Amino acid sequence: MQTLTMILANVPVWVWALLAFIIAMGLRLSREQRMSRSRLLLVPAIWLAYGAWGVEATFGLNAAPLLAWAAGLAVSVKLVRSSGWASLVRKEAGLYVVPGSWIPMGLMLTIFCAKFALGMGLAMNPALAHQTGVALGFSALFGLLSGAFLGRSLNILSAGRHATSPAFA
Strand partners, 91: 96
Of 4-8, 109-113, 164-168, the range with the highest mean pLDDT is 109-113
Q: Nearest-CA neighbor of 72 among 58, 52, 86, 53?
A: 52
Q: What is the pTM of this model?
A: 0.84
Q: How far apart are the C-alpha atoms of 108 and 113, rounded to whole Å?
A: 9
Which residue has better confidence, 60 or 137?
137
